Amino acid sequence: MLIRILGAHSCESRATRCVCILVDDRLAIDAGGLTSSLSILDQQKLKAILLTHQHYDHIRDVPMVALTLYRCRTNVEVYSTPDVLDTIETHLLNGIVYPRFQEIPKEKPTISLNAIVPYKTRIINGYGVLPVPVNHDGITVGYQISDAKRKTIFYTADTGPGLTDCWKCLSPQLLIIDVTVPDSYQKFATETGHLTPSLLSEELMQFQEIKGYLPQIVLIHMDPILEKETTEDIKRISEAFNTPITIAYEGMKLYI
């Protein structure tokens, strides 16, 4: 399984893009830096987009990719919770902000909106996709993705602490997990549903206790303004666990 990190941050700038993960060039998870990272040809290779929650930094490129695919006369399946799909229909693809690509062209609309059910594995383009609720705004789900060779990743989405129940139903080889701000912003992190390096450390301890191992760990959704301080905190956590903890960056490729 090839995982490409197209967007790794919580803020966009010339050097950073909002979160977007691409699996084997055809399955995207979240649509932050999706279109700005892919050629028109590569956008046409997309088969499905899984959305974790309705915050703008995670859904923003759905209209943009829809326009490309509409112009290229192809289409893509979008999967998320009913709430997120409703937000897209009401606020983005509403015929005012952008065309209702879920209805045009009539014979085969560019976008198909598909509701997922938390804790229910669904086969999407040959991958087993398991949505698992995490601790963020409203209903936010992380996704465990497994391929035919049983290679498995879990992307938490934006999440705060309290993932014990989540760990019980997962067995990833690679964990891509939210760490947005440094330890000095712990109050902000818990109030907004994100992790700091120290909060991550507690979640990893729980994971190790429940599962008996630690997966490969990659951190995502970092605030670029505070990245230096966060990186220093992460070094300490990595040393304490005696395991490499990698920070995601735009263009990163991971093979499992």
Taking a C-beta distance cutoff of 8 angstroms, is the pair 116, 109 a contact?
no
Stretch binding Zn ion (CB under 5 A), from 52-60, 101-109, 148-156, 235-243: 52-60
Nearer Cβ to Zn ion (55/60): 55
Nearer Cβ to Zn ion (1/176): 176
Shortest Å distance, C-beta 85 to Zn ion: 17
One of 35, 61, 132, 158 touching Zn ion (CB under 5 A) = 158
Nearer Cβ to Zn ion (1/7): 7
Q: Which two tokens stand for residue 229?
A: 């301080």
62, with CB counted inside 10 A (0-12, 13-18, 19+), is buried
Shortest Å distance, C-beta 157 to Zn ion: 7
Determine the Cα–Cα distance for residues 104 and 217; give it in Å rounded to an integer.
Answer: 41
One of 21, 35, 38, 57 touching Zn ion (CB under 5 A) = 57
Q: Which two tokens stand for residue 218?
A: 């990659």
The answer to whether residue 60 forms part of the interface with Zn ion (CB under 5 A) is no
Nearer Cβ to Zn ion (19/69): 19
One of 9, 55, 60, 151 touching Zn ion (CB under 5 A) = 55
Residues 67-126 that bind Zn ion (CB under 5 A): none
C-alpha separations of 90 from 94, 123, 136 in Å: 5, 27, 21
Phi, psi of 179 (to 5 degrees): -135, 110
Q: Hey, is 145 helix, strand or coil?
A: strand
Nearer Cβ to Zn ion (151/221): 221
Shortest Å distance, C-beta 149 to Zn ion: 30
For Zn ion (CB under 5 A), the number of binding residues is 3
- For the chain, helix, strand, coil in percent to 5 are 30, 25, 45
Determine the Cα–Cα distance for residues 245 and 241; give it in Å rounded to an integer.
Answer: 9
Nearer Cβ to Zn ion (7/75): 7
Give all strands (DSSP E) within the chain, no chain letters.
2-7, 20-23, 27-29, 48-50, 76-80, 111-115, 122-124, 127-133, 141-146, 152-155, 174-178, 216-220, 245-247, 252-255
Binding site for Zn ion (CB under 5 A): 55, 57, 158
